[in-house]
Chains A and B, each alone.
Chain A
Amino acid sequence: ETGVTQTPRHLVMGMTNKKSLKCEQHLGHNAMYWYKQSAKKPLELMFVYSLEERVENNSVPSRFSPECPNSSHLFLHLHTLQPEDSALYLCASSQDPHPKETQYFGPGTRLLVL
């Protein structure tokens, strides 16, 4: 138990669906992250939030829309996804948004796009 929870743990969706991934951290951290993990590829940082403000967006397609309503919660809204978007989506948090800070990861949401 890392103090970061993600729901759902598994998600199957069609290309025309709209769904949302949820992440919650119980660590009192100020920074939260979304990563994409595909087989045999490095973790890809998608978004970084610091105190509810987006501070980094790494050329992620607009079909992924993040939302950070407060410092404990982070959402990833999904719409009109493609099969190549199938992956494990990991949320993480850290005390501050500095790369040297230890990041605590949630267990991930395994997404399959049909």
Chain B
Amino acid sequence: TQLLEQSPQFLSIQEGENLTVYCNSSSVFSSLQWYRQEPGEGPVLLVTVVTGGEVKKLKRLTFQFGDARKDSSLHITAAQPGDTGLYLCAGVVKLSFGAGTTVTVRA
């Protein structure tokens, strides 16, 4: 089993602030996916990172894959209430999910 640890478990910030959530493992992954799950819905894929050191941007979201392909981070700039949700990372060889970070952005 490839264990993925996400931190922090919970994060509550004010609108306009920045935040970073982390996904760490002792295993090497061929790629890593980030999902956002809003209350009452299933997870929705945000991005897949494939190459060690890769950085991908999706509007105010910046995703980075570690050089050794064992860890990843998600940075949100100027967070908005619409960013509220559970952020999950999933590592691929055999798809394994972390427990997620619950982000709440207060207006």
- Whether A and B are associated in the same complex: the answer reads yes
Please count how many residues in chain B sit with their CB below 8 Å of the partner chain's CB atoms. 22
Which A residues from 88 to 114 make CB contacts under 8 A with B?
A: 90, 92, 99-100, 102-108
In the complex, chain B residues whose CB is within 8 Å of the CB of A104: 45
A21 close to B (CB within 8 Å): no
In the complex, chain A residues whose CB is within 8 Å of the CB of B30: 100
**Per-residue 0/1 for A38-59: is the Cβ within 8 Å of any B Cβ (1 yes, 0 no)?**
0011110100000000000000
Query: How distant is B24 from chain A, measured CB to nearest CB, in Å?
Result: 13
Secondary structure dominating the interface of A: loop
Task: Enumerate chain A interface residues (CB-CB to B < 8 A).
Answer: 2, 4, 40-43, 45, 90, 92, 99-100, 102-108
Task: Enumerate chain B interface residues (CB-CB to A < 8 A).
Answer: 4, 9, 30-31, 40-45, 48, 88, 90, 92-100
